[in-house]
Chains A and B, each alone.
Chain A
Amino acid sequence: MSELDLLYTDVEDDLRSSVRGLLADRCDPGAVIALYDGDRSLVAPLWKAIATDLGLAGLLVPEARGGAGATAREAAVVLEELGRAMAPVPFLTSAVVAATALADTASADTAGGLLAQGAAGERTAALAVPLSTTPYGALPAVRAADGRLTGTVTSVAGALEADVLLVPAGTADGLALYAVTATDTTRDPVVSLDMARQLADVHLDGVAGTPVVAGAEPAIRRALLTGAALLASEQLGVARWCLEETIGYLMQRKQFGRVVGGFQALKHRLADLATAVDGANAAARHAAAALAADDPDVELAVAVAQAYCSDLAVTAAEEAVQLHGGIGMTWEHPAHLYLKRAKADQIAFGTPGAHRARLAELVDLPAAG
């Protein structure tokens, strides 16, 4: 097996600069904080700029179907930047998870049309499962009868921004994925721990749905695995922001007549954090590269990346709050955005413990008893 490239290509570096440049202009931390007070005016124009102006909605969609034909490696770079800037856009839920769920569908049918519209940024989609759903466990499903769907799906990420919901439903032939017009459902916004990725409870009351994937379990699991893999890169972006912002602050802040960053107790904590962030970089890059190369060990790579990066992002955010001192506890300073995102991301697509349990099966380290 050839060695996976864990660095960044020039093309990936260019992609990073254009995303970072746009976010620096258009994603003000103050506007992200305002999301928590109910002002969501940032979301739609920012997503339009990313999806359409930068053309990232179709990043993972093949060129033949209107997309950019890129791989998980490039999507991972985008997510590093979105995590770093705390950009409240549905890239992960629509351009990654929903697009992957539809990836194996034929281009002529409804799903193919959806994929093309999604790639063009014309329609945004979301897979209707709780954000905490793991790629390995039981999959939630609503009831389907005569093309009408009934049931409730709680804690769905990306549902508020979506035009189309991809809803897993139980049928006589097993799990199927239905496309449902989002406005035909009732979406109750959830007061979420992370309001930069606000959840919704979705109620379907005999809503008309179009079947887009039959025998959908493999497609749904693949979509969740891809989401988990690339979430690691978002977590890396979150952690890097926390590390760099904290260092920047500690180089300014003075107490006892000295720059606080010169105290050894703090230097050692930051050295440990930086070491762990380098580890997260390798793990997240490895998961994205394994996915892009369709590596046979991709599940193992994802489980390792999630088990590691989920906890690391939380540690980085907790350290950022602590090492900022009082200012880190304020509503005004953006550190809390990263703490809330990191903690929510730790639960998204399965907790670290769920990924370690999967790993135990994959590498033959069986549990006790």
Chain B
Amino acid sequence: MTPPAGPAELRERVERFLAEHDPATTERLAFLRARYDAGLAWVHFPEGHGGLGLPQAWQLAVDEQFAAAGAPDNNPHSNVIGLGMAAPTILAFGTEEQKRRFLRPLWTGEEIWCQLFSEPGAGSDLAALATRAVRDGDGWVVNGQKVWTSSAHLARFAILVARTDPDVPKHRGLTYFLCDMTDPGVDVRPLRQITGEAEFNEVFLTDVRIPDAHRLGAVGQGWAVATATLNTERVAIGGRAAPREGGMVGLVAQTWREHPERRTPELHDRLLRLWVDAEVARLTGLRLRQKLAQGRPGPEGAAMKLTFARLNQQLSGLELELLGEQGLRYSDWTMVRPERVEFTGRDAGYRYLRSKGNSIEGGTSEILRNIVAERVLGLPPEPRVDKDVPWKDQAK
């Protein structure tokens, strides 16, 4: 069967699929597997791997068509790392066998993924990571400690970067693996954060065995593969255009409207300034999407993240002040392990505390400013004194 030539034909293809697999009567997992096998999971993926080799921009209409028909979805919020980072990396660097083994259960949500990148001693400087993978017969033995791992307690697999050669400079001695989280050497411990809950984990790896068949890319190529993974994180901005007054600013605006007794000129001025900033950020995002749709990726991705971190922090801080006495109360400090991050579902105090992470996770605002300055504006790079020194000889 030849792939659809245009959006209209793709639409027909989805209609035909829905006629053959009634969402009301087909079992959920069977439906999702059939959708994958029909190439309607992620249409930009190749045929045979859940796609039809079509433009990524056509996916949104497919998702909407399935949703309108009342079809079950793959609960994408429960497998953000898998769908957003592991899948595109496996597609780009995986063997045929790896793609066949991992992509289908990843997309259907049967297998949740997490990311074992950051370490206590390797945050912004990820390439300095110290987790060791040592060759042992037809596999590898891994020892080390990873941190900031969301979903580790739910995940079946992890994307993992480990050091396979300490005798070369840091970027060159890394290798990328797909790690089975059910291995007895994997110890997942909740990492409680300032909100009281444990959204993340620490993961201790002790003599974890990984078959060489689960290595992604060549030995020593880990940095290139990891960079590709991190780039997909920033491209994932796509999707639907944010509505005006969406997200954090909408919550604060609502609070303002509901509490006339709490209004002061000073809070009003700050609210309006932030409202304008949020609207301009929305328009900037819209403009970036229009550029991407024309195949002209702009440099605004890193800049967008800087802006959203600042806005979320300032807006949630303002909201607490606006609430006054109510802002002195917090919903619940009980340690829980949430399955997904829900900014808007919790109270203002939670939003204030959680948004502090926005300028740290996925690249600190300081690193992002370096990226904008160096890659967008062309200013000189930071000195990198450790660039040519073998990893084992570097100050730790």
Per the bound structure, the CA–CA distance linking A285 and B374 in Å amounts to 26
Which A residues lie within 8 Å of B286 (CB)? 3, 6, 282
User: A224-263: which residues lie under 8 A (CB-CB) from chain B?
Assistant: 247, 250-251, 258-259, 261-262
0/1 per residue, B253-285, Cβ < 8 Å to A?
Answer: 100110010011101110111011101110110
Q: Tell me if B14 counts as interface (CB < 8 A to partner A).
A: no
Which B residues lie within 8 Å of A137 (CB)? none
Interface residues on chain A, number (Cβ under 8 Å): 42
Q: Tell me if B392 counts as interface (CB < 8 A to partner A).
A: no
Q: How many A-B residue pairs have CB under 8 A?
A: 130
CB B55 to nearest CB in A, in angstroms, measures 18
Determine the main DSSP class of B at the interface with A: helix
Residue among B379, B381, B382 facing the most chain A CB atoms (10 A cut-off):
B379
* Contact (Cβ within 8 A) A247 B280: no
User: B288-344: which residues lie under 8 A (CB-CB) from chain A?
Assistant: 290-291, 294, 300, 303, 306-307
CB A359 to nearest CB in B, in angstroms, measures 6
* Contact (Cβ within 8 A) A268 B373: yes
Nearest to B256 among chain A residues (CB) is A365
Q: Tell me if B137 counts as interface (CB < 8 A to partner A).
A: no
Known: A251-B379, A367-B268. A7 touches B369 (CB 8 A): no
* Contact (Cβ within 8 A) B257 A308: no
* Contact (Cβ within 8 A) B300 A278: yes
Per the bound structure, the CA–CA distance linking A258 and B381 in Å amounts to 12
* Contact (Cβ within 8 A) A367 B300: no
* Contact (Cβ within 8 A) A365 B290: no
Q: Tell me if B236 counts as interface (CB < 8 A to partner A).
A: no
* Contact (Cβ within 8 A) B265 A368: yes
Q: Tell me if B361 counts as interface (CB < 8 A to partner A).
A: no
* Contact (Cβ within 8 A) A274 B379: no
Which B residues lie within 8 Å of A266 (CB)? 379
* Contact (Cβ within 8 A) B268 A360: yes
Which B residues lie within 8 Å of A270 (CB)? 373, 377, 379
Q: Tell me if A283 counts as interface (CB < 8 A to partner B).
A: yes
14 A–B contacts, CB within 8 A, in A order: A6-B287, A7-B294, A250-B379, A251-B379, A262-B379, A264-B382, A271-B369, A275-B306, A278-B300, A279-B307, A282-B283, A283-B279, A365-B256, A365-B268
Q: Top 10 closest A-B pairs, CB basis?
A: A262-B380, A267-B373, A368-B263, A271-B372, A282-B283, A271-B369, A275-B303, A6-B287, A282-B284, A356-B272
